Amino acid sequence: MKVAVKDACVLIDLANGGLLDSWFELGFETHTTDFVINQVQREAQWRVVSGFVQAGLLKVETLNAAELSQMQTEYQESRLGIEDNSALFLAVKLKAVLITGDRRLRSQAEKRSVKVHGVLWILDQLIAANKIVPKLAAAKLRAMIDEGAYLPSEEVNKRFRDWSGGSDATG
């Protein structure tokens, strides 16, 4: 079983794009932490995310006191918040892929040899697995961006060109 840990920005982006259900079709056992899940605060996003928690598809882990202490000791130089550190700690613990859009979290994960991907990778995987078609991926990406997703513009524009017949994020 492929195991993934998600941070809040990815959960929020996928909720905004209406793609959490498609994500689970990829066959990843998906985890996050209670610190991360508490960052999903907008009602519409929470309704989507909490449904997957209640269904048992998104497993929310609570770090115990010993794990919190270990995390604070090992990651004190990371300059990340407790939410991001908890996601990284869990990814290391579970030997999982970390799914994040945060550049500093990505950098810390790579220092610890944790495999890291982001939302654009998820969209690529959904297309490759024939879970969504490219035009729908472009529409879902547009919805995420319209809701405030912060993604690398060069990569976003490339995908818009590839998936929607030539128009980029500005078109």
CATH number at residue 21: 3.40.50.1010
Torsion angles phi and psi, residue 55, rounded to 5: -75, -10
pLDDT value at 171 more than 50: no
141 occurs within a structural domain: no
138 occurs within a structural domain: no
68 occurs within a structural domain: yes
88 occurs within a structural domain: yes
* pLDDT tens column, 100-140: 999 999 999 999 999 999 999 999 999 999 999 999 999 99
142 occurs within a structural domain: no
CA angle at 100 for the pair 94 and 106, rounded to the nearest 5°: 85
40 occurs within a structural domain: yes
Rg (CA), the chain: 16
77 occurs within a structural domain: yes
- 25 touches 131 (CB < 8 A): yes
pLDDT value at 165 more than 90: no
How many domains are contained in the chain? 1
Query: What three-state secondary structure class fits 30?
Result: strand
Domain ranges, residue 75: 2-119
Q: CA-CA distance, 158 to 154, in Å (whole number)?
A: 6
pTM of the model: 0.91
44 occurs within a structural domain: yes
Torsion angles phi and psi, residue 57, rounded to 5: -80, -35
Among candidate residues 69, 96, 66, 72, the one with its CA nearest the CA of residue 84: 72
